[in-house]
Amino acid sequence: MKHIAVYSNTCAKGSYKEIWPRAFYQGLQHHGDWKSTYVENKRLIDAEYAWCFAYQVKGDIKMSDQSHRRQIIDKYEPTGKIFFLDSDVLISYDGFELNKNTIRKMTMENKRWTRQPYSSIYANKGATYFEKEFMENAMQRWTQIAAIKGIESKPYNGKGDHILITCNRGTEGYSAEKKNATEYAIETIEEIRQYSKRPIIVRFHRALSGTQQKDFQTLEQYIKDKQDITIQSKANGNYPDIIPVIKNAYAVCTWSSSSATPAICEGKPLYVKSKNCFFYDMNSGNISDIESPNIKDNRHKWYANYAATHYNIKDLNTGYYFGKVKNLI
């Protein structure tokens, strides 16, 4: 019998995030052909498979739960027998600056989703979800999710006031791949300026760590003598809801930040640098083509992929998600 350890201690104890490992574990109880162990302390047990809350980059460890997370990843990642939980790439549609109580309530009401990658946190390296059993009802699921989130897929129209650059957390977080936020922003600004004179907005990640403060100051100094470039950051108090910012944009550029993902739904050309990004396939080409973007409207395929990889609490609690994925492993 296959055995999976659900390491609940990989998310902060007492936080609303503990809902997710409990739901995943509860779902496993509907599958008697698997043995499951709910691990609450910081130990590794002898199990063939593991569930881990999020990812942890080597060397980027600040808290004890992150240290334990890294130990789990070191053990299971080489075999690929590991489930991760990652943020919803369309989380920006859930609301702006939500408090923890609202997030918990929405989660329990099945109005929030998380991405559930298997074998690798990176979309282009993990298990594929394009098998028939995943995709057969994916568009129906997408329609239901979009209705709850209030998403309307807009046509590409070539309109907009500015070019938006959305930054990852910096060198922190797995998706940045150690790429510094300001370094990416400056490189992108300089490339854009070779081909476009449109106003540019650079938006930092919402987490304001010490590194982010330094990055903000570096970029602020860089743009001091440049025209039509503004910064959105918690550091300068200019941090509006990103959905209207994207709706009013002409195009969106990012390394791999999920904050850029609404550009897909809002009909904006999207320029993605990292091939590890979940939405890299929606890339509109090179920045050199920014004034004549390469638009291939294959969003229906991306929407189906989103629905096949994102699940809510009910999907985990009832064993629905695990019932689909266990056939792939």
Distance (Å, rounded) from C-alpha 276 to C-alpha 272? 10
Res 58: pLDDT: 58
* CATH value at residue 233: 3.40.50.2000
Judged against a pLDDT cut of 60, whether residue 290 lies above it is answered with yes
List residues bridging with 83 in a β-sheet.
Answer: 51, 118
- 146 & 9 share domain: yes
Judged against a pLDDT cut of 90, whether residue 16 lies above it is answered with no
* Confidence bin at 20 (pLDDT 50/70/90): very high
Q: Is residue 157 part of a domain?
A: no
Judged against a pLDDT cut of 70, whether residue 68 lies above it is answered with yes
Q: Is residue 236 part of a domain?
A: yes
- 71 & 195 share domain: no
* 232-253 mean pLDDT: 96
Judged against a pLDDT cut of 60, whether residue 246 lies above it is answered with yes
Q: Is residue 175 part of a domain?
A: yes
pLDDT single digits (tens) 148-157: 999 999 999 8
Residue 41: other Cβ atoms inside 10 A: 9
- 74 & 198 share domain: no
Judged against a pLDDT cut of 70, whether residue 274 lies above it is answered with yes
- 260 & 138 share domain: no
Which of 73-77, 89-93, 122-126 has the lowest average pLDDT? 122-126
SS3 category, 114 = strand
Q: Is residue 222 part of a domain?
A: yes
- 19 & 95 share domain: yes
Domain that holds residue 256: 162-296
* 287-316 mean pLDDT: 92
- Give the angle subtended at the CA of 121 by the CAs of 285 and 10, to the nearest 5°: 145
Q: Is residue 156 part of a domain?
A: no
Res 167: pLDDT: 92
Output the pTM of the full model: 0.92
Residues contacting residue 296 through CB under 8 Å, at least 6 positions apart: none
Q: Is residue 11 part of a domain?
A: yes
Distance (Å, rounded) from C-alpha 219 to C-alpha 164? 15
* 124-129 mean pLDDT: 69
- 268 & 129 share domain: no
CA distances from 84 to 28, 53, 60, 102, 250 (A): 15, 6, 18, 24, 34
- Give the angle subtended at the CA of 222 by the CAs of 218 and 224, to the nearest 5°: 115
- 210 & 120 share domain: no
pLDDT single digits (tens) 196-233: 999 999 999 887 766 778 888 999 999 999 999 999 99
- Largest distance between two CA atoms of the chain: 65
Average pLDDT taken over every residue of the chain: 89
Stated as kind and residue range, the H or E segment containing 212 is helix 210-223
End-to-end Cα spacing for the chain: 13
- 176 & 269 share domain: yes
- 218 & 272 share domain: yes
Give 125 or 310, the one with higher predicted confidence. Answer: 310
- 106 & 196 share domain: no
**Structural domain total, the chain:** 2
- Which tokens is 316 given? 């985990």
Q: Is residue 197 part of a domain?
A: yes
- 105 & 219 share domain: no
Distance (Å, rounded) from C-alpha 141 to C-alpha 89? 16
Q: Is residue 18 part of a domain?
A: yes
- 201 & 124 share domain: no
SS3 category, 169 = coil
